Amino acid sequence: MNQTHIRHRIFVTACLLAGAVPAVQSAEPEDIIKYRQNVMKSQGAHLAAAGAIIQGKVGYKNQLGDHVKALQASTRDIPGLFPKDSDFGETKALDAIWKNNADFQKRAKDTRDKVNALAKAVTVKDSQNYGARFKDVADSCKACHKDYRKEDK
């Protein structure tokens, strides 16, 4: 797969994610849960890929912006992925999301803001700050998962 094709796929995925959250509201709860899980998995994958590039484990520096753009699109409205009545079934989401929703929304905004700060550093090619901005994003994700996601067994 060539670089142009990869960028196109990432761009299309980001566009679909950006427009999909409002549409999620009218879906069946089971479908919302599955969608949410896929979005969260994609966030983890893009964060891991960006981290590998920033840490110098792989080359692909020309693709860092693509991963960060996908993160921006998928973190734009994290609370929208957790609507009322999607708190059951096969999910790692804890009830605390709905019980402490104001705090959850605050943390989701913090993650979005930190992703945007990473994106700004990447856009202006401020490579001296990539590591720090990446760590901010990773720490924000971990902090939210600590209180709002079931631990993996």
The answer to whether residue 123 is domain-embedded is yes
91-116 burial, b if ≥16 CB within 10 A, otherwise e? Answer: bebbeebbeeeeebeebbebbbebbb
Would residue 79 count as lying in a domain? yes
* One pLDDT digit (tens) per residue for the chain, 153 residues: 555 555 555 555 555 555 545 554 567 889 999 999 999 999 999 999 999 999 999 999 999 999 999 999 999 999 999 998 899 888 999 999 999 999 999 999 999 999 999 999 999 999 999 999 999 999 999 999 999 999 877
- Any domain includes 143: yes
The answer to whether residue 9 is domain-embedded is yes
CATH of residue 55's domain is: 1.20.120.10
Q: pTM for the whole thing?
A: 0.81
One-letter amino acid at 76 equals R
- The answer to whether residue 31 sits within a structural domain is yes
Q: Per the domain annotation, does 130 fall within a domain?
A: yes
For the chain, what is the domain count?
1
What the block records as the tokens of 81 is 């992925």
Domain, as residue range, for 109:
3-148
| C-alpha closest to that of 113 among 141, 87, 92, 90 | 141
* Residue 153 forms part of a structural domain: no
